[in-house]
Amino acid sequence: TVNTKRVIQYFASIAASGGVAGKKDSSKGTLEDQIIQANPALEAFGNAKTVRNDNSSRFGKFIRIHFATSGKLASADIETYLLEKSRVTFQLKSERNYHIFFQILSNEKPELLDMLLITNNPYDYSYISQGEVTVASINDNEELLATDKAFDVLGFTSEEKMGVYKLTGAIMHYGNMKFKQKQREEQAEPDGTEDADKAAYLMGLNSADLLKGLCHPRVKVGNEYVTKGQGVDQVYYSIGALA
């Protein structure tokens, strides 16, 4: 992770040093800036504390940088793969969920907490509090500012940026959704709808439709769709898959 950042910074600085830096779009940074700032954004959503590394990449990425004959950076693309999705819903005691959750909860931007309908206490959210919630070598407040700046440099609009934060907040609410089994039936039903309402609101969905889709999903059988009932465990598996 660190070596990759250093190599990218080196290439970008060399390309810019001879007066061949990329042109700057008024709405975002230069190409060199964008290549460098891609890292904070990717790390926020793809890096986490593990037993051996406080900032471990939990995904693979292949970075391809193209240079013009003049030495100027012409373009770049990043392919990501193999994200450790299970970490979103489960962590070992000595590890931590992805950095972005704790950056948001750092309260560096209180308006995010209000927008996402969350508190700044990670223990209020089961998906992110099964392991560690702080890392001594990481300042989540500063990292949130770096992540937010990276979105701007990469050319995200305000609406797109807020959309990313809202989806992240919805995941936290997903982990707090509760279901119970109907009496004398192997069928799950909501045990309160407050967290489902919040998650649905942040995702732009109708809460009743979300709960119906979880408890009574439509499945394709042959050429037709049929509605099937789900037990409590099946519903929790579905929520985890969505998260």
Kindly state whether residue 173 falls inside one of the protein's structural domains: no
Please state the pTM of the whole predicted model.
Answer: 0.90
CA atoms within 13 A on the CB side of 12: 20
Kindly state whether residue 73 falls inside one of the protein's structural domains: yes
User: Higher model confidence: residue 121 or residue 4?
Assistant: 121
Give the pLDDT band (50/70/90) at residue 20. very low
Mean pLDDT on 8-37: 71
CA neighbor of 95 nearest in space, from 140, 47, 44: 47
Distance CA 74, CA 71 (A): 9
Kindly state whether residue 205 falls inside one of the protein's structural domains: yes
Kindly state whether residue 169 falls inside one of the protein's structural domains: no
Kindly report, residue by residue over 101-121, the tens digit of the pLDDT.
999 999 999 999 999 999 999
Which residues, at least 6 apart from 14, have a Cβ–Cβ distance to it below 8 Å?
Answer: 71
Kindly report, residue by residue over 53-91, the tens digit of the pLDDT.
999 999 998 888 888 888 788 888 888 888 999 999 999
- The CATH number assigned to the domain holding 45 equals 3.40.850.10
Residues 81 and 199 in one domain: no
- The CATH number assigned to the domain holding 211 equals 1.20.120.720
Residues 121 and 33 in one domain: yes
Kindly state whether residue 219 falls inside one of the protein's structural domains: yes
Kindly state whether residue 103 falls inside one of the protein's structural domains: yes
Residue 26 has pLDDT above 60, yes or no: no
Residues 48 and 105 in one domain: yes
Give the per-residue pLDDT at 73.
Answer: 82
Residues 147 and 223 in one domain: no
Residues 82 and 123 in one domain: yes
Kindly state whether residue 54 falls inside one of the protein's structural domains: yes
Of the candidates 98, 122, 156, which is a domain's last residue? Answer: 156
Distance CA 209, CA 214 (A): 9
Residues 195 and 147 in one domain: no
DSSP of the chain: -HHHHHHHHHHHHHHHHTT-PPPPPTTS--HHHHHHHHHHHHHHHHEE--SS-TTEE-SEEEEEEEE-TTS-EEEEEEEEE---GGGGT---TT---BHHHHHHHTTSSHHHHHHHT--S-GGG-GGG-SS-S--TT--HHHHHHHHHHHHHHTT--HHHHHHHHHHHHHHHHHTT--EEEPTTSS-EEES--HHHHHHHHHHT--HHHHHHHHHS-EEEETTEEEE----HHHHHHHHHHH-
Kindly state whether residue 171 falls inside one of the protein's structural domains: no
Residue 93 near residue 108 (C-beta atoms within 8 A): no
Domain that holds residue 237: 179-242
Residues 44 and 9 in one domain: yes
Residue 215 near residue 179 (C-beta atoms within 8 A): yes
Give the per-residue pLDDT at 25.
Answer: 59
Question: Domain total for the chain?
Answer: 2
Residues 187 and 107 in one domain: no
Mean pLDDT on 42-48: 96
